[in-house]
Amino acid sequence: MRAAVLERGNPELQIQEVPDPNLGPGEVRIAVEACGICGSDLHITLHPIIRLKEYPRIPGHESAGKVLECGPGVTDLQPGQRVVISAGTSCGKCPACLAGKENRCPQVGVLGFDRDGAFAEQIVVERRNVYPLPEGVPMEQGAILADAVSTPYHAIRFVGELQANQSVLIAGCGGLGIHGVMIARALGAARIIAVDIDQGALSNADRAGAHEVYDARELKRTMQKIRDKGDVDLMVDFSGVYANAEYLIRGLNPGGKYVMVGLGKGTLGFSMPPYMIYKELSIRGAYGSDSRSMPELIELLAGGRLDLSLSITSRHPLSEINRYLKKLDSREENPIRYIIEPQK
């Protein structure tokens, strides 16, 4: 099969013929039809701040395709069936996995980082990581559910526990945060606030349905403008700028939650003000997603409550992957998601 292969020390992916992956018991072989280019893919290619445990490696973790073959023990999927592949990997046996909290597994990993991913014509994954995709859902929209959409969904729905008619602030409106805006809208938030320092990201947030957008370059002043219109029930921070926390949490309603998703450098450090106690505020972390998110997202997408058409900037064959990694890096087209189609 053809695959885009990352070699140690080479920032460009090499299009190579590689052996088809072996199929074992409980596994599914899938023809990859769509795979999103994520910002984290830049961190192992053009800006290699993440060192993989093993090279060579096939990246790609936001994927969907059609079943080619099922291994022994898999009886509920059929060849030709459309499916989404979860980005996360786990052991499937530990207490966290058995409780449906796979993102807390001690062996948690990510396709394309810890094992070969989906920038390839085929991929083999465990059945538990495969979700049927209805015919009416575009393959490329199904693909980005795997991370770009499921990660913010987990943070907002399950960690932040957003309720209909509540208010939510999304800090950082890049590849994850922009979908946070869309998810908040789908879940019935009454007030959706987007803050970022990038005008392109704010433009995307406005198009995605944010009720208010703010430039966050002077966050203290920005938060005062937001608070003049009322404090917020939930804040979800995708920015990775830990210094934001001190200013953001001041704008929470009593019982409000501040959920951190973005990973940054340095440490989170601020003195705990008394209002955190008497307003009963919560600071929580959210990592990836678990098996609860994907079925709900597929239902939202298939039912029309969640529209991801804005997210798909353009689609391209596998041979153009390096070009679109560079375009994502430059942000010259203000992209949300470029999609690679390995069968083309």
CATH classification at residue 217: 3.40.50.720
Does residue 204 sit in the same domain as residue 247? yes
What pLDDT band is residue 115 in, cutting at 50, 70 and 90?
very high
Does residue 279 sit in the same domain as residue 332? no
Does residue 198 sit in the same domain as residue 267? yes
Whether 277 is in a domain gets the answer yes
Which residues make Cβ contacts (< 8 Å) with residue 254, sequence separation at least 6? Answer: 279, 280, 281
Structural domain count, the chain:
2
Does residue 281 sit in the same domain as residue 297? no
Percent of the chain's residues with pLDDT above 90? 91
pLDDT digits (tens, 9 = 90+) for 158-172: 999 999 999 999 999
User: Which pLDDT score is estimated for 45?
Assistant: 96
Cβ atoms 311, 141 nearer than 8 A: yes
Does residue 203 sit in the same domain as residue 305? no
**183 phi and psi angles, rounded to 5 deg:** -65, -45
User: Tell me, what DSSP letter sits at residue 57?
Assistant: B
Does residue 328 sit in the same domain as residue 208? no
**Across 31-53, average pLDDT:** 95
**Across 219-233, average pLDDT:** 95
What pLDDT band is residue 108 in, cutting at 50, 70 and 90?
very high
Q: Which two structure tokens, joined as six digits, stand for 240? A: 């990775």
Query: Which of 11-25, 178-192, 264-278, 298-312 has the least mean pLDDT?
Result: 264-278
| Locus of tokens 């560079």 | 326
User: Which pLDDT score is estimated for 264?
Assistant: 78
Does residue 190 sit in the same domain as residue 219? yes
- Alpha carbon 222 to chain centroid, angstroms: 27
Cβ atoms 60, 119 nearer than 8 A: yes
User: Tell me, what DSSP letter sits at residue 325?
Assistant: H
C-alpha 338/C-alpha 309 separation (Å) is 12
Inform me whether the pLDDT recorded for 24 exceeds 90: yes
Domain that holds residue 237: 161-285
Q: Which two structure tokens, joined as six digits, stand for 219? A: 């966050």
Measured in Å, how far apart are the chain's first and last C-alpha atoms?
12
Question: How much helix, strand and coil, in percent to the nearest 5, is found in the chain?
Answer: 30, 25, 45
| Angle of helix 177-186 versus helix 199-208 axis, rounded to 10 | 20
Does residue 257 sit in the same domain as residue 301? no
**Across 74-101, average pLDDT:** 96
How many helices (H) does the chain have, and how many strands (E)?
11, 17
User: Which pLDDT score is estimated for 243?
Assistant: 83
Q: What is the mean pLDDT of the chain?
A: 95
Does residue 81 sit in the same domain as residue 125? yes
pLDDT digits (tens, 9 = 90+) for 238-295: 998 888 888 899 999 999 999 999 987 777 766 777 888 999 999 999 999 999 999 9
pLDDT digits (tens, 9 = 90+) for 53-83: 999 999 999 999 999 999 999 999 999 999 9
Q: Which of 285, 304, 333 is the last residue of a domain?
A: 285
